[in-house]
Amino acid sequence: MTEGSKAAAAARRVVVAVAPNGHKTKADHPALPVTAEELAQTAVECLAAGACMIHLHVRDRDGAHVLDPEAYRAATSRICSAVGDRLIVQITSEAMGRYQRADQEAAILATNPEAVSLSLREFAPDEARERDFAHFLIRLKEKRVWPQFILYTPEEAQRLAGMHKRGVIPFEAPSALYVLGRFMLVRAAAPADLLPFLAPDMPRFAPWGACAFGRREAACVTAAALLGGQARVGFENNCLLPSGEQAGSNAELVAVVAKGLSTLGYALESADGLRDEIAMARG
């Protein structure tokens, strides 16, 4: 890197988030964190490795995905006891075929998290749902809950931009997460999958980030970071190191990306730094 590019890199701090479990089980990886205690230990390890946010899925007693405010509060409390406010806790609202939109909204409002991820295709699959979605987002803004919009295709990105322009999205700067690759289709992502989202005629979101399925996860999210985005890694999307070997922990995946960014002259964002960004994006 030239001196100028090093200075530019140092001026921007990169957000690294960890998604430690998703809807996988210990059959997928024996170290997959499921309980509140396991999630808290993962939070400690990933904070030390460079993460500033943790994306949270919780389970019922049978280990099934659940949108349960009590379970979210228990896990969040345990994480905060372990790391204080040094990690932002973002809950998922993913339906997973178990919940209707009203259930998702009720769970989020009852949990009242610092941050939540919202799949655009689940909450506003068509224009007819946009008015209700707008009302729900206003409630989130009033409660100071930060939403991140999950986008699976460039078309969804265009639609989100249009909704923002029409006032459906009541935040100054909507946050977008681009999902590269697919879980159900077992299609591993590649850095080039970012290109359709970042084409010259595509909308620009700030902040934006990426997560990626498969062993090229680190390459994908590092490319996103170099292009101005945030990085999300973890067992939810991938359990392999770039070498193809199984990662021993979520923290190993965080560390790979953190080390790569550091080598390239980038610093890592802190939770408080991300909170400052969120405050500006909230408007």
Percent of the chain at pLDDT > 70 equals: 95
**What pLDDT does residue 152 have?**
96
pLDDT interval class at 70 (50, 70, 90): very high
Q: Is 136:129 a contact under the CB 8 Å cutoff?
A: no
* DSSP at 32: -
Residues of the domain holding 224: 3-282
Average pLDDT over residues 28-48: 97
pLDDT interval class at 165 (50, 70, 90): very high
Joined together, the tokens standing for residue 190 give 């590649």
Q: DSSP string of 112-179? A: --SEEEEEHHHH-SSGGGHHHHHHHHHHHHHTTPEEEEEESSHHHHHHHHHHHHTTSS-SSS-EEEEE
pLDDT interval class at 2 (50, 70, 90): low
**Which of 7-16, 40-49, 80-89, 200-209 is least confident?**
7-16
**pLDDT, tens digit, 9 for 90 and up, residues 81-116:** 999 999 999 999 999 999 999 999 999 999 999 999
Q: Assign 3-class secondary structure to 224-236.
A: HHHCCCEEEECCC
Find the DSSP H helices in the chain.
Answer: 3-11, 36-49, 69-83, 101-111, 120-123, 130-142, 154-165, 217-226, 250-263, 271-282
Average pLDDT over residues 126-143: 97
**pLDDT, tens digit, 9 for 90 and up, residues 187-233:** 789 999 999 999 999 999 999 999 999 999 999 999 999 999 999 99
* Residues whose CB falls within 8 Å of the CB of residue 264, separated by 6 or more in sequence, listed in order: 1, 9, 226
pTM over 0.85: yes
Q: How many domains does the chain have?
A: 1
Can you give the CATH number for the domain in which 223 is found?
A: 3.20.20.70
* Residues whose CB falls within 8 Å of the CB of residue 204, separated by 6 or more in sequence, listed in order: none
Instruction: State the Cα–Cα distance between residues 95 and 104, nearest whole angstrom.
Output: 7
pLDDT > 70? residue 138: yes
Nearest to 120, CA basis, from 136, 141, 98, 144: 136
Residues paired with 208 in a beta bridge: 176
